[in-house]
């Protein structure tokens, strides 16, 4: 079986998976839908952290050592901004700024986020579509002892220190899914949904919170696989482990499977978490094992290949 | 005699003169009013080329080799912008971007250009006030065979190639002079007006085009000196020589003196143009000679000292 693959992705881990899929599938067989719940305005710039992570990874421009942003980055603007007394809690690399400036200018001209993203993707010669989940604003908010914090205040400003009590997605109920996302969901050749190894609560849930998405996914007669973001019961990067404990579900693959419920038919977990396989199988999921850590581009392609193999999709 | 000095300035040459004055006068004795007719919006950024030139020169951050912008500049954003298919006709340095981002954010928050400029000046620890001519938009336009071009299209986009037929300042008639400019004009201790070695047509004329400025200057009972931007009958930098020929006045100091008319009482010309002295004297001006080329900070201070000496102002 061949056909179209619809991937749902957040930032870094998801971006690597998306890049792996893009490396082994022809462009017309892949749509990557990206979380925009972390998007925010900063210094007049429209910043889309997860879209940028996916774009940089798929263009081979992502910085693997730092784990975010662009490779060969410099920080001259930030140094001068600090000297001018400007806000320095969010790091803006010099190369990265070109993305923000171009996107902001396009949005100000009245282009949709989908259109602007398509333009940037094309300019960088990326194969495969990178699509925002929605062209409407959705803002992830985290409830803490200090009240509700927007995502960047929680994630960057406070380094995920506050204990999360709840998460909500402002604007999601009024948002429409992006045209390319909607189109991918009804493709007659849609062959699989891949939920990338991203944070289920912060990166994938905003996508699912948009009306019609959950229903559309549940109605699909194709394999829907989640690649677990956990390795050895912990997140490779980011606050997932902490969030899983705080939100009361436990930091393990069963909690993630329970969270997704009927949305997924398959789950791929890391070999080190093999003990999670039996309960997942008992819960009715097709479970496969893999080395899910992606250090290099070769890991990404290898894992993408294993994912598609596990759900019976020919490359 | 001591007292306050009001300087009118455009970009590079004027900025060096302003920096020289700032180096020898205590901050409370200097107000530098800067042309904003070249200001424009680019990629969503509010760019004020002449204010930035004056700020960089007075902060000792100006690049002397390139002749514009900041020293130790890098161009990573521009390289990526080009790769993204963005507009590359206007060079934005990485360090320079911090100024544009901070200014744009301040203006968007409702601050006036005066307030934002004061904030940046303070952050950089600059002595002396740098003041926009107006907080209202004024746009310098140049008439060419292609019709009216805005300043940046003419100056940067077309490198001043088209023949200028006329110049106008859109918005000037409705603009108000900035509060600090207005305050400086009525200071009881105002001792002198210094017209910096900037382009009279493109850099100083926009300031004079704002209602009340010309009248206020004519009514002042203090020396008003123009430091000629010509050396050996040619401009050190920029299109002045070309413009003087095109606008029919001839590239010499007499044409500049005639242009300013009764607005100036004194003129300082370069030693190489000593033959211009007699006709200027005949025209009723006090004329002094100096080496007006400013290569280093020491030249700036030395020339500023000579300017103030020539009009009887104690430092």
pLDDT at B248 over 80: no
Tell me the shortest Cα–Cα distance from A123 to chain B, in angstroms: 5
> Which tokens belong to A39?
């998007």
Check CB contact of B272 with chain A, cutoff 8 Å: no
* Range in A168-172, A198-202, B78-82, B238-242 the model is least confident about: B238-242
Contact state of B97 with A104 under an 8 Å Cβ cutoff? no
Task: Give the residue from A90, A93, A96, A97 with the most B CB atoms within 10 Å of its CB, the best one to mutate.
Answer: A97
Q: What share of chain A is helix, strand, coil (3-state, %, to 5)?
A: 45, 20, 35
Contact state of A123 with B77 under an 8 Å Cβ cutoff? no
Nearest partner of B253 among B224, B283, B293, B223, judged by Cα? B283
Assess contact for A265 and A195: CB atoms under 8 A. Answer: no
What percent of chain B shows pLDDT beyond 90? 86
Nearest partner of A33 among A116, A100, A130, judged by Cα? A130
pLDDT at B124 over 70: yes
What percent of chain B shows pLDDT beyond 70? 100
pLDDT at A1: 60
Check CB contact of A109 with chain B, cutoff 8 Å: no
Q: Is the whole model's pTM more than 0.90, yes or no?
A: yes
ipTM given for this complex: 0.92
Query: Residue by residue, what is the 3-state secondary structure of B38-101?
Result: CCEEECCEEECHHHHHHHHHHCCCECCCCCCCECCCCCHHHHHHHHCCCCCCCCCCHHHHHHHH
pLDDT at B245: 84
How far apart (Å, rounded) are the C-alpha atoms in residues B125 and B113? 18
pLDDT at B240: 82
Kindly report, residue by residue over B15-41, the tens digit of the pLDDT.
999 999 999 999 999 999 999 999 999
What is the pLDDT of chain B when averaged over all its residues? Answer: 95
Question: Which residue bears the tokens 């997704």?
Answer: A260
Kindly report, residue by residue over B107-118, the tens digit of the pLDDT.
999 999 999 999
Check CB contact of A2 with chain B, cutoff 8 Å: no
Partner A, chain B 73-92, Cβ-Cβ below 8 Å: 73-74, 76-81, 83-86
Contact state of A84 with B120 under an 8 Å Cβ cutoff? yes
pLDDT at B234: 86
pLDDT at A236: 82
In chain B the beta strands, taken as DSSP E runs, fall at 4-9, 30-34, 40-42, 45-47, 129-132, 139-144, 147-150, 166-170, 190-195, 224-227, 230-231, 234-235, 266-270, 286-290
Tell me the shortest Cα–Cα distance from A168 to chain B, in angstroms: 28
pLDDT at B1: 60
Residues from chain B contacting residue A60 (CB–CB below 8 Å): none
Nearest partner of B193 among B173, B212, B216, judged by Cα? B216
Low-confidence ranges of chain A (pLDDT < 70): 1
SS3 (DSSP) at A40: strand
């Amino acid at each position: 079986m061949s056909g179209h693959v619809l991937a749902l992705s957040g930032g870094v881990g998801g971006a690597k998976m998306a890049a792996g899929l893009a490396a082994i599938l022809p462009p017309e067989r892949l749509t990557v839908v990206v979380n925009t719940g972390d998007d925010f305005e900063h210094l007049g710039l429209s910043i889309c952290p997860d879209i940028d992570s996916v774009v940089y990874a798929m263009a081979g421009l992502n910085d693997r050592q730092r784990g975010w942003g662009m490779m060969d980055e410099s920080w001259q603007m930030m140094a001068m901004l600090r000297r001018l007394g400007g806000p320095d809690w969010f790091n803006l690399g010099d190369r990265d700024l070109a993305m923000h400036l171009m996107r902001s200018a396009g949005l100000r001209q009245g282009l949709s986020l989908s259109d602007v993203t398509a333009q940037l993707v094309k300019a960088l010669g990326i194969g495969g579509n990178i699509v925002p989940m929605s062209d409407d604003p959705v803002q992830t908010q985290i409830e803490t002892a200090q009240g509700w914090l927007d995502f960047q205040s929680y994630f960057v400003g406070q380094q995920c220190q506050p204990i999360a009590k709840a998460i909500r997605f402002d604007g999601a109920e009024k948002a429409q899914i992006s045209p390319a996302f909607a189109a991918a969901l009804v493709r007659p050749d849609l062959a699989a949904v891949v939920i990338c190894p991203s944070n289920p609560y912060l990166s994938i849930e905003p996508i699912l919170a948009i009306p019609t998405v959950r229903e559309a996914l549940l109605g699909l007669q194709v394999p829907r696989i989640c690649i677990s973001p956990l390795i050895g019961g912990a997140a490779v990067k980011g606050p997932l482990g902490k969030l899983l404990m705080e939100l009361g579900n436990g930091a393990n693959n069963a909690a993630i499977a329970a969270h997704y419920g009927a949305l997924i038919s398959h789950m791929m977990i890391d070999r080190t978490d093999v003990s999670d396989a039996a309960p997942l199988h008992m819960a009715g999921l097709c479970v496969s094992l893999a080395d899910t850590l992606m250090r290099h581009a070769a890991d990404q392609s290898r894992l993408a290949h294993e994912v598609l193999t596990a759900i019976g999709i020919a490359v």
